[in-house]
Chains A and B, each alone.
Chain A
Amino acid sequence: MAAAGVRGVLWQRAAARLWAVRAAAPVPLGARAASEMSKDLMPGPYPRTPEERAAAAKKYNMRVEDYEPYPDDGFGYGDYPKLPNKSLHERDPWYQWDQPDMRHNWGEPMHWDFDMYIRNRVDTSPTPVPWHTMRKHFLVFLGTMLIMFGLGEMYPSYRPVGPKQYPFNDLYLERGGDPNKEPPVVTHYEI
């Protein structure tokens, strides 16, 4: 029937599209074939004109004034927005996020290093003591300990010791001496 014919045509067209995609780019097929998003909704190259910037800001659901792409150094960022490097620890824990564990709302642009800034990993929340103070205290302690251990290795100092003295005539029998023979007398002291 017509429905079967349409379904057959659609199947062939889908197969043809998959073939074209496979020939075009050696990338995993599931990445784009599964989503229905068109190419202009996907990240693209660095925006050069103000119109491209406005379009990119709209695409990423951001204000045009807020949108700032990574500098065009050829590192592969494209037009992805440069968001502040703040971890998810700093986001309000009491707000009703759409995804509470990720503290992320649907459609909100994700940081490039989103998977680094999750709450199990890097935490950039403010510290009670400034970071440079903490670093200084830690390096002073570590440096002092290393220097002292190094000096101790170079100039060891311990109480005077002598060779170990064994009982029973220097352990004559335990060292396999003949029990029938008289062991040589050993004295470790002088009176």
Chain B
Amino acid sequence: MAAGPPPTAAEAYRPNRFVSLPAELDPDTYDVSPEKRRAEAERLAIRARLKRQYQLQLNNPNPPAIIEDPALVRWAYARTQNVYPTFRPTPKTSFLGALFAIGPIVFWIAVFKADRVSQLTTLNDSQREIVKCRSAWRLNWWDPVAPKSD
């Protein structure tokens, strides 16, 4: 099987969700088709309209007390108040919810139990007395290793 054509610069770079492709390697930069130009023109029109609205409010002789940004209000609303109404229990969300809510609790229960069991099985009688009388979780570093003699 032949090796095939060598990878393009964009393919060699392999952008992922941590880094994006530089514009120089992106074939879209060199695309000058009329569709792309019309899309850019429409985006520019929307941007110009929004900028005009903003500038009119900003340079108003009687400016409002606060120029509210609807995009910011929508962003805050979507992240806080729109999550519960649009949430739906699906297998994926249920699994993730169990994993992140119940998982750590069960994990730490197992860890602490294993630690205590391994501790208590290696104690001599005097140390076990210390732990029991003090109802301590485990023997600490300041507890005497050998039984204290009078």
Nearest A-chain residue to B74, judged by Cβ: A43
In the bound complex, do residue B16 and residue A131 qualify as a contact, i.e. CB atoms below 8 Å apart?
Answer: yes
Nearest B-chain residue to A128, judged by Cβ: B22
In the bound complex, do residue A32 and residue B85 qualify as a contact, i.e. CB atoms below 8 Å apart?
Answer: no
- In the complex, B141 has a CB within 8 A of chain A: no
In the bound complex, do residue A86 and residue B42 qualify as a contact, i.e. CB atoms below 8 Å apart?
Answer: no
Interchain CA distance A98-B86 in the complex, whole Å? 32
In the bound complex, do residue A43 and residue B13 qualify as a contact, i.e. CB atoms below 8 Å apart?
Answer: no
Q: Residue-by-residue, is A43-62 near B (CB-CB < 8 Å gives 1, otherwise 0)?
A: 11110000000000001111
A/B pair count, beta carbons within 8 Å: 131
Nearest A-chain residue to B21, judged by Cβ: A126
Contact of A32 among B39, B72, B77 (CB under 8 A): B77
In the bound complex, do residue B89 and residue A107 qualify as a contact, i.e. CB atoms below 8 Å apart?
Answer: no
Distance of A70 from chain B, by nearest CB (Å): 10
Nearest A-chain residue to B69, judged by Cβ: A106
Contact of A126 among B12, B17, B20, B69 (CB under 8 A): B20
Q: Residue-by-residue, is A102-123 near B (CB-CB < 8 Å gives 1, otherwise 0)?
A: 0011111110101000000000
Nearest B-chain residue to A97, judged by Cβ: B51
In the bound complex, do residue B80 and residue A31 qualify as a contact, i.e. CB atoms below 8 Å apart?
Answer: yes
Residue numbers in B under 8 Å from A27 (CB-CB): 80-81
Residue numbers in B under 8 Å from A86 (CB-CB): 20
Interchain CA distance A73-B105 in the complex, whole Å? 26
Number of interface residues of A (CB under 8 A): 48
Residue numbers in A under 8 Å from B15 (CB-CB): 126, 131
Nearest B-chain residue to A80, judged by Cβ: B78
> Of the 9-residue stretches A34-42, A158-166, A181-189, which lies at the interface with chain B?
A34-42
- In the complex, A65 has a CB within 8 A of chain B: yes
Q: Residue-by-residue, is A124-151 near B (CB-CB < 8 Å gives 1, otherwise 0)?
A: 1111001110000000000000000000
Contact of A43 among B43, B78, B89 (CB under 8 A): B78
A-B contacts, 9 of them at CB < 8 A, read A27-B80, A42-B74, A42-B77, A76-B82, A77-B86, A105-B54, A107-B50, A114-B75, A126-B21
Residues on A lying within 8 angstroms of B by beta carbon are 25, 27, 31-32, 35-37, 41-46, 59-63, 65-66, 73-78, 80, 84-86, 90, 98, 104-110, 112, 114, 124-127, 130-132
